Structure formats: structure tokens, C-alpha cells
Chains A and B, each alone.
Chain A
């Protein structure tokens, strides 16, 4: 393979941010017609490397060659012009434009100087058909589609430019199994047509399924480059987290926990009776006891997030009732829910969680401060103590309370958001996809944390697309399908296939 010139070759790349050395002398090669996985924990430098290649960040030192040509990208447009196309973890499209406008934005076919809308429509249809998305109306607004479909449309945009290099940064984190299979079909199709594909994902199984080679990063440094078939899962993980295998084994079994079974007749912390909201979910009955973890399983878009939002007052329920500790309560706003000791970590960190331009400290104490009101500022010393405590307890890196939260990696941002709620000592913690886009290490930490919190008496509503994860942490599992609860399963000895069968087959 050595005599073939790589499509992309990055040598000795370094990038630093204030207080963080994100990449330190990293090298990377990508060949035509391969799927190359970029592996590493959160904060290992994967996203930074991609952003260096796509011109979002300018490199401090090192060289980038594309097709043997030395390049120095200082804007995404330059990278795109060189044939590199990217689909990011969070969909970076314009929600208020139509699907076809998004696919062809900036490259609309023209006729006599003005946009040829008929051409736009037919080109968009062609591209969508290539991805088997015929059911998507090119004239519909992008925001009217689920995140999963938006992601596929983002890929469609890259397909449209017939890019030489396609970068997929966590493309599957919002997709269900069927959609993943569909995406992988497309990836293979593109690979066979000679596109070099850089694939980043936290789903190990997917990486092993789709990739030919992989490059492993750790703490901003290169660990090595491997053929996927030569590297076992265990040795990959140990390379990613830099720990020996015994330590890993411990990580693996740690989340298992003796299930607490709520005694019959005890008052649940929260109980709903037929709550619903027009156009959202209907007729949902749930109950969560203190010290219990209730998992919500179901396909993406089944209505899991919608239920969480109703319980938290982010959306107002227009049917049914909610009882807290046996008393009927109206929850009209997040503020009201928080006053009832309910906390909610949204699945959309960037839009619904982070205050990007504020520091880790400000973000961490925000919910607590909001509860106290603006007039009673949490004294600086108390803030510092709390922040130090949680930075240590949750292993938040960098351990710098003054770092702007937008400069942290996804997993560390998530930990700060968790800490934001933990300092308020909620009685019910609603976690919506708390481990999405997070590496194994942080994932296990969060799962352990959930177990510990439940053991301490907190009620947890745990929402995740990963069935194994829901099974690992939950005492009971409510299965949501087509915006209704279809079954409730006691988690004693059930396996993922059982739950899958319920999701597939309807009521048990």
C-alpha cells in the first residue's frame, strides 16, 4: 500500500488552545477507497484533528497534504474546495431552509444567472434517491424532519459534491439500527466508488463492522495506526484509554448492581396518569419510586424525549395528571419542576444545556443560582468548593473552573451539565441520552454514577437509544412505541433481544 499516495496525509500536527494542548505532533494518513476509523476517548483530539483537516481550526505547526499537494486551510471553504466534505456530530445545516436548499446550498444549478429551481428540485431528488430517502419531500423544511433524517440529509449534501474525502463525525449517534444499516450501505457504496472515508464513532461494534483501518489518539497524541482486522476490541480499548486490561475488566463489571425492588404499595416519587400533549405523546402512565431507575426504551422518535419534557414542564401537558409523592401537582414550567426537585439533562447539549461563553464554574452553579434567585448570589467560596468537589468527583478535564465550557470536549461538557443538577440535590433526575457521543470511559463513569445516585435514594428516569445501557442501569423498563407506552418490563434477567421483541411486536 506504501507506493500509493495517500489522499490525505497529515504530519506532525499541533494545535493549542488557551490552557489546552489539543493536538501534539499527530500524524494521520487516509487512502482512497478505505473507511478509516479515528478512535479515542473524548478529549483525545479526534474532533480537533477533523477540524484541522476541514479548515475550522488553523494548525499551529505541521503539514497537510491532499493528493500530494501541500495545503494550509484557514477556512472551511478552502478545505471543501480541495474535495473534503464533512458531516458533523451535531447537524450543521439550516433548519429554516428546505431540504433541497440545504443539499444544494451555495451550489444551486443556475440558468441565466438566477437559480434554476426546477434543476434544484430534480438534483435533490436524485441525491435523495441515491441514499434511499425517496420519502423525503425536497421542498419540506429541514426542521420538520427528525434529527436522524437531518443527519442523512447532511450526508446527502456531501454526496452531492462527489467529494474525494468524506468525514463522518459521529454520524450514527442519532440513528436507530435500521438507519445505521442504511447509512452503512451508503458508506460502502461510496467507498467502492473510490471515496476516502474518515469515520468517527463511539460505537465499537459499528467501527468494527464498517472500518478497514484505524488511527488511535490519546490525550492529543498519536498512539498508532492499525488494520482493523488485526486489532482486537480489548486491545483497542486499552490503547484508547491507556490502561491495562485488568483495569478494563473492572470497568466492565462495575455498573452491575443489585436491583432495588420498590415495595408494593409504597408511594412513588412521581406518578403520571394518562399524561399527553397534542401532537406529541398520548396517554402515558409512569411511576418512579425513590431509589429506582426507570429506563425508557424505544426507537428514536418514539416519544421518549417528549415524555421527559412533559415531566419537566419544558412542554405543557394538556391531558392527564402528575402526582408527586401522592399529591396532584401541575408542572407548568421547568422552574416549577425544579421547585419540585426534578432535574432534566437534555439530549441536546449544545442547544439546551450549555451556556457556551460562560465558564465551567458559572455553568455548574447555574441551576442552583437560578433556584436561589438573582439577588442571593452564591458566595464565591461556596462556588469554588462545589466546583472543585464536582470536578474531582466526576473527573472533569481540564480541571480548570475558569475554562469556557465551549472549549471542553463533549464528554466533559456532559459531566459539567450533570454536576449542574447534582449540586441542586434533585429527587428525580431525568437523563435523556446522557452518554450520547461520549467515550467508553466517561460512559462507564456516568452509568456508575447513576447507580450510586439511585442507591442513595434518588429516582432516575434514564433514556437511551442503547438497549444494553438501559438494561444495565434500570430497575424497570418502560417501552415507548409510536408515542405511547406499550409495555413495562421488570429488569430481572431480560436481555436486549426480549426488549427488542417488545418494541418490534407491540404489547407483551
Chain B
């Protein structure tokens, strides 16, 4: 049990479970899933569906943070991707056809690639500090999105496009499936190849990595491009869900949620060792919190404070110092006489 508690994912998972239980106490049917018209429904599904864009972005963010970087531009990429795809659909001669939807997706992805390449160029080639480099597009990116939409909210009607954010496949929402696929892809790509280790090496000691012959420039490029493409997919989901592109509000502050998810999940902002699973758990915690606020009927003016309390608790539980304090409070409870002998054996 103690070794389980020491696992880096222990506290995030416990926090998530506690939140879900809390909801279950207040709404006995909270964890229940039901089938309706061949679709799965339930609060859990809602949490996953609503959390999908944040998870996607947080996955990309995890790898960026592992290289000692940060990507503040993801919210703007969400806006750009939504704006570009919706503007294309609205202007196309056949705004309803699947081919148009497919092209729109491609356009969004290309936009993501371009933004990622630009961020990677600034950070890896020019050597701008990541927080500054991505701040450029965090602010300018929304401007670009507004330019694309002409300052209007562009509404589109295209069933194929709508499916990305609001559709169902194999009884599950498409957005969940996309997110799951990206997770599997990212985990597989980084752990089955050497990319994960090399990302961590660059994040832990960039100087030593360079002297060991790592092309850290390429690796940094890859993570920023991956992050931006994840953000582009999230942008597609968000705009598809409401079948409209809102350059001002789509993905607003989502970078903060994503960074929070990464940190809650147990990846250090100092770079180095990362955990994608932890990030997903972190994102679920954030999304479940939002749901909990509604379940418990917490008044809107208290909502943010409630969120803050939970986040602080999870972060404290992860801090080694706070854990030590916690252990010291607990320590008197265990029988001191027999314990040392056991510890000898454990060593």
C-alpha cells in the first residue's frame, strides 16, 4: 500500500476518485451509464467529451514542458484552426459536402503545423525563451483568427464537420475517440521509439545532450509542432461542437487549463521526466471539478474559489515537502517498535 502511495500517479488518481465519489454521493446516478439510440450517455461520458479539447492540448503541452519549454499559443491556435476551417466551409461552393469538411480539417491541421513550426523556429533555432516565443502567437494568433473571420462569428452547416465535436461512433462521442487515438499515438510514438527518452534528456540537461550528439533542435521542433497540431484538433472539436467559429472566445484560457493538467498530473515545469497518463488524469480532474460545481449546486460566485482549493490541495499533495509534513502528522500512529526491523528488510 505504501509503495502504491509513492507512485507518482497516486495522488492525482486519488483526487480524481474522491471527486467522482463526492459527485456520486450527491447524485446517486452520477456514475451510471445508459444506452440510448445506440449512444452511451452519462456524466462520465460528458466529462470525457467536454474535457477532450483540454486533454488533447495538455498532451502536446506535456511534451513541450518536458523539454523545459511551455506553449502559451495553444489557445490562439484553437481560434485559428476553428476560424480557418469554418471560413473555408462557409466560402466553399458546396458548404455541406463531406469533401469540404475533410479539406477544412486539412486546412486546420496545416495551420497548426505552420504555427508549431514557427514556435519551434523561434525556440530551437533563434533561441528565444519559450514563454516569450509562444507569447507572440498567444496574442497575435487571436488577431490572425479575427482577420480570417472578419471579426464575425462564422456559422456553418456541415454534417461531416459537426461529427468531429458532436458526433458518435461505436456508441462513443467522436471527440473522445479522437483524443484516445492521439493519446495512444503520442504514448506509442514517444515510448516505442527513443523520442521520449531523448525529450527527457534534452529537458534534464540540454548541454550534456548536445555534447552527446542529440539533435535537440529537431526534438524541440517536433514537440512544438505536435503541440500546435493537438491544439488545431482541439480547435476543430470546439468549433464543430457549436458549428461556428468564434475568434474571440474559442479556446480562451485553455492554455492555463492545459498547463494545470500537466502539473497536476505530475510532470514538473522544470522539464525532464514526464507522464502522459498523469496529464490525462490531471485534465479529468479539472473537467470533473467543473461538473462537480454544477452537481453540488455551488453558487457561481464561489465556483472559482472552490476550484482553486481543489487544485491547491492536489498540488500540495504532490510537493515532497508537503508530503513529508503529511507523513510526520501520520507517523505517531504507527507502532514505532516493530517498524525499524521491517525497514531493514525493505532495504
Give the interface of A toward B (CB within 8 A): 16, 21, 312, 314, 333-335, 338, 344, 346, 351-358, 362, 366-367, 369-378, 420
- Render B201-227 as a binary contact track against A, CB cut-off 8 A, 1 for contact: 100110111111111001100000000
Residue of B nearest to A359 (CB): B197
Q: Which residue of A lies closest to B270 (CB)?
A: A357
Residue B193 at the chain A interface, CB threshold 8 Å: yes
With beta carbons under 8 angstroms apart, the residue of A312, A314, A358 that contacts B204 is A358
In the assembled complex, which residues on chain B have CB atoms less than 8 Å from the CB atom of A375? 193-195
| A335 & B213 in contact (Cβ 8 Å cutoff) | yes
Provide the residues of chain A in CB contact with B193, threshold 8 Å.
Answer: 374-377
User: What is the distance, in angstroms, from B223's C-beta to the closest C-beta of chain A?
Assistant: 11
Return the 9 tightest CB-CB contacts between A and B, nearest first.
A370-B213, A338-B213, A377-B194, A374-B195, A370-B214, A367-B212, A355-B201, A366-B212, A369-B194
Please determine whether B201 and A352 come into contact, CB atoms closer than 8 angstroms.
Answer: no
Expressed in whole angstroms, the minimum distance between the Cβ of A375 and any Cβ of chain B is 5
Tell me whether A344 and B194 are in contact in the complex, defined as CB-CB below 8 angstroms, given that A355-B204, A362-B201 are known contacts: no
Q: Is the interface of B mostly helix, strand, loop or mixed?
A: helix
State A114–B86 Cα separation when bound (angstroms): 59
Chain B CB within 10 A, most for which of A16, A369, A378: A369
B347: contacting residue among A16, A344, A374, CB under 8 A: A16
How many A-B pairs have beta carbons closer than 8 Å: the answer is 81
Smallest CB separation, B63 vs chain A (Å): 12
Chain B contacts for A420, CB-based, 8 A: 212
Q: Say yes or no: A358 contacts B208, CB within 8 Å.
A: no
CB distance from B137 to the nearest CB of A (A): 26
* 8 A–B contacts, CB within 8 A, in A order: A21-B347, A334-B211, A334-B212, A352-B207, A366-B201, A366-B209, A366-B214, A370-B213
Q: Taking A334-B210, A357-B204 as given, write out 6 further A-B residue pairs in contact, using a Cβ cutoff of 8 Å, ordered by the A residue number.
A: A335-B214, A351-B205, A355-B205, A370-B214, A375-B193, A377-B193
Contact B208 A355 (CB under 8 A): yes
Q: Who on chain B is nearest to A60 by CB?
A: B343
A352–B214 alpha-carbon span in the complex (Å):
13
Judge whether A374 and B194 touch: CB under 8 Å.
Answer: yes
Do A352 and B198 have beta carbons less than 8 Å apart? no
- Given A21-B347, A377-B192, A378-B194: A353 touches B211 (CB 8 Å cut-off): yes
Q: Which partner residue on chain A sits nearest B218 by CB separation?
A: A374
CB distance A367 to B194 under 8 Å? no
Contact residues, B124-169 vs A (CB, 8 A): none
Contacts of A362 in B (CB 8 A): 197, 201
A363 to B272, CA, bound (A): 14
Binding site for A on B (CB under 8 A): 192-195, 197-198, 200-201, 204-205, 207-215, 218-219, 272-273, 347
Cα distance A352–B347 in the bound complex, in angstroms: 32
Which residues of chain A are within 8 angstroms of B194 by Cβ–Cβ distance? Answer: 369, 372-378
Query: A370 to B219, alpha carbons, bound, how many Å?
Result: 11
Taking the closest CB of chain A, its distance from the CB of B102, in whole angstroms, is 28
B212 touches A370 (CB 8 A): yes
CB contact between A367 and one of B192, B213, B218, B347 (< 8 Å): that residue: B213
Contacts of B195 in A (CB 8 A): 374-375
| Cα A128 to Cα B235 with chains together (Å) | 61
A297 to B133, CA, bound (A): 44
Residues of chain B contacted by A376 (CB below 8 angstroms) = 193-194
Chain A proximity of B269: nearest CB distance (Å): 14
Contact among B192, B205, B272, B347 with A354 in the assembled complex (CB-CB below 8 Å): B205
Distance in angstroms from B24 CB to nearest chain A CB is 37
Which residues on the A side are within 8 Å of B273 (C-beta)? 357
Q: In the complex, what's the smallest C-beta–C-beta distance from B45 to chain A, in angstroms?
A: 36
Expressed in whole angstroms, the Cα–Cα distance for A344 and B207 within the complex equals: 13
* CB atoms of B208 and A352 under 8 A apart: yes
A334 touches B208 (CB 8 A): no
A343 to chain B: closest residue by CB: B213
- Within the assembled complex, what's the spacing in Å between the Cα atoms of A352 and B207? 6
**Distance of A333 Cα from B217 Cα, bound (Å):** 12
Task: Name the residue among B211, B214, B218 with the largest chain A CB count within 10 angstroms.
Answer: B211
Q: Is the CB of B211 within 8 A of A354?
A: no
Q: How many whole Å from A260's CB to the nearest CB in chain B?
A: 28
The answer on a CB contact under 8 Å between B215 and A335 is yes
Closest beta carbon of chain B to A78's beta carbon, Å: 15
Known: A362-B201, A374-B194. A351 touches B207 (CB 8 A): yes
Cα A298 to Cα B140 in complex, Å, equals: 55
The interface residues of chain A lying within 8 Å CB-to-CB of B212 are 334, 366-367, 370, 420
Taking a contact as CB atoms under 8 Å apart, the answer to whether A358 and B213 are in contact is no
Q: In the complex the two chains form, what is the Cα distance from A440 to B81 in whole Å?
A: 63
CA–CA, A352 and B28, complex, Å = 57
Q: What's the minimum C-beta distance from A474 to chain B, rounded to whole angstroms?
A: 24
State in angstroms the CA–CA spacing of A351 and B210 once bound together. 11
Q: Which of B200, B204, B209, B211 contacts A346 (CB 8 A)?
A: B211
A362-B201, A366-B201 are known contacts. Are A371 and B208 too (CB-CB below 8 A)?
A: no
Query: Among the interface residues B200, B204, B205, B213, which one has the most CB atoms of the partner chain A within 10 A?
Result: B213
